[in-house]
């Protein structure tokens, strides 16, 4: 198999737009995967993409990557320092600092000692997560797009499709949701959808008449979105040669899958840059905080960047709800499903779905990669 084929197979296996589960919900084997640094984690092309999509200068992009790397390391230590008073955290691009919410002033000094700023709140992360789980148990109508815990607002936020905000079934859902805990209702312009596509040319993988994009190489195969194929379904590479089969797949409820790789194909720890940026090495899977920058690679729209907007969000697709998703401001389109979300050199998740497109903008969710690794007992292929 040619090297080009190898790279495309090892980097393009996920089709749907989507990210990873929150670290607090993950076993230590994945959530605590160490971040391996490199002297030059950001190429000139990657910095250019951040300048284009985030409106930054080159110096600002370099400074932001460095600050986000520090914030990612601080987040774990600060969470331990806060203990049961932990109320969540988020990264602020303006100050370059991580803010940690706590419910008790007695923990504030210990959290500040880690390098984080502190905000006192009423509800702990555990209380908010419990409220969200109660909402997860409800049957959501099509006019409800998604819901997640917003640590900055210290509430569970429900996004309602603007055209359906006055529907009786939406109002009834919100009435029941408010009984679970503190709630804030926001509007989204349209309902979320998955980003699978029919068979077209390009640099994809195929199963049946569906085209998707590869997410990340693991030892023995690659991970991708669950809506791209069912267990045992055959997978064919960008050149239509046989690659392997879906070894596990879950959708809805989850949106993840993994495919074994053989027949002359092999895996590499790289994410394709599509000529927009240089191909990116993958060195770990440390989860970036809310507010951090993140970039996505997919076979339709190639390389785009944005920020992490929310974690542990439940997304209400027409096929059913998917839990523990990460929401981003990155755009995507059909065929990008399963593709890679990466922050610096750290794998974040596989594209699941979203709304909008890369012409007018939108939002995209990813299924966190650490959840996928833990679910199937896989090991990320790193450089």
Quote the tokens at residue 227.
């809506």
CB-CB neighbours of 69 under 10 Å? 20
Name the 3-class secondary structure at 236.
strand
Quote the tokens at residue 156.
């569970």
The verdict on whether 381 is a catalytic residue reads no
d(CA 314, CA 145): 9
Closest to 63 in 3D by CA, of 34, 95, 17: 95
Alpha carbon distances (Å) from 107 to 101, 139, 169, 191? 10, 38, 42, 40
| Choice among 129, 150, 159, 255 that is catalytic | 255
Quote the tokens at residue 364.
């995209």
| Choice among 148, 227, 304, 323 that is catalytic | 227
The verdict on whether 232 is a catalytic residue reads no
Name the 3-class secondary structure at 101.
strand
Q: Which helix (H) or strand (E) holds 193?
A: strand 193-194
Quote the tokens at residue 382.
């790193």
d(CA 293, CA 69): 10
Alpha carbon distances (Å) from 1 to 7, 14, 235, 264, 323? 10, 20, 16, 6, 38
The verdict on whether 148 is a catalytic residue reads no
CB-CB neighbours of 22 under 10 Å? 22
User: What are the beta bridge partners of residue 303?
Assistant: 297
Q: Are 364 and 298 in contact (CB under 8 A)?
A: no
Peptide bond just before 94 cis, omega within 30 deg: no
With a CB cutoff of 8 Å and minimum separation 6, the contacts of 159 are: 144, 145, 146, 147, 186, 187, 188
With a CB cutoff of 8 Å and minimum separation 6, the contacts of 343 are: 68, 72, 288, 292, 293, 294, 295, 308
Q: Which helix (H) or strand (E) holds 3?
A: helix 3-11
| Choice among 337, 340, 343, 352 that is catalytic | 337
CB-CB neighbours of 81 under 10 Å? 21
Question: Catalytic residue numbers?
Answer: 227, 255, 337
């Amino acid at each position: 198999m040619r090297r080009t084929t190898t790279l495309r197979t090892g980097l393009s296996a996920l089709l749907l737009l989507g990210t990873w589960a929150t670290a607090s919900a993950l076993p230590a084997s994945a959530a605590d995967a160490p971040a391996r640094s490199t002297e030059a984690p950001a190429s000139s092309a990657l910095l250019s993409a951040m300048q284009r999509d985030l409106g930054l200068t080159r110096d600002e992009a370099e400074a932001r990557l460095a600050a986000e790397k520090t914030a990612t390391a601080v987040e774990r230590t600060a969470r331990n320092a806060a203990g049961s008073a932990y109320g969540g955290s988020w990264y602020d691009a303006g100050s370059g600092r991580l803010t940690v919410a706590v419910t008790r002033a007695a923990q504030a000094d210990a959290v500040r000692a880690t390098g984080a700023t502190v905000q006192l709140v009423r509800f702990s992360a555990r209380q908010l997560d419990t409220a969200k789980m109660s909402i997860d148990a409800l049957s959501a109508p099509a006019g409800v797009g998604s819901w997640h815990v917003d640590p900055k607002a210290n509430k569970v936020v429900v996004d309602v499709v603007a055209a359906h905000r006055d529907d009786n079934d939406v109002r009834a859902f919100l009435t029941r949701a408010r009984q679970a805990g503190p709630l804030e209702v926001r509007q989204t312009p349209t309902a979320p959808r998955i980003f699978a596509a029919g068979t077209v040319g390009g640099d994809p993988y195929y199963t049946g008449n569906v085209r998707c994009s590869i997410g990340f190489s693991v030892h023995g195969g690659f991970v991708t979105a669950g809506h791209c194929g069912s267990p045992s379904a055959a997978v064919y590479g960008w050149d239509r040669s046989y690659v392997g089969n879906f070894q596990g797949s879950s959708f809805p409820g989850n949106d993840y899958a993994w495919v074994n790789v053989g027949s002359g194909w092999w895996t590499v720890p790289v994410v394709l840059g599509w000529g927009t940026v240089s191909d990116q090495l993958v060195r770990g899977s440390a989860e970036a905080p809310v507010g951090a920058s993140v970039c996505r690679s997919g076979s339709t729209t190639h390389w785009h960047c944005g920020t992490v907007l929310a974690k542990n969000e439940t997304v209400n697709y027409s096929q059913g709800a998917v839990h523990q998703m990460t929401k981003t401001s990155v755009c995507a389109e059909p065929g990008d499903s399963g593709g890679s979300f990466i922050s610096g050199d750290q794998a974040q998740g596989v594209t699941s779905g979203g709304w909008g497109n890369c012409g007018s903008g939108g939002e995209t969710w990813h299924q966190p990669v650490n959840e996928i690794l833990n679910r199937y007992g896989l090991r990320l292929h790193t450089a």
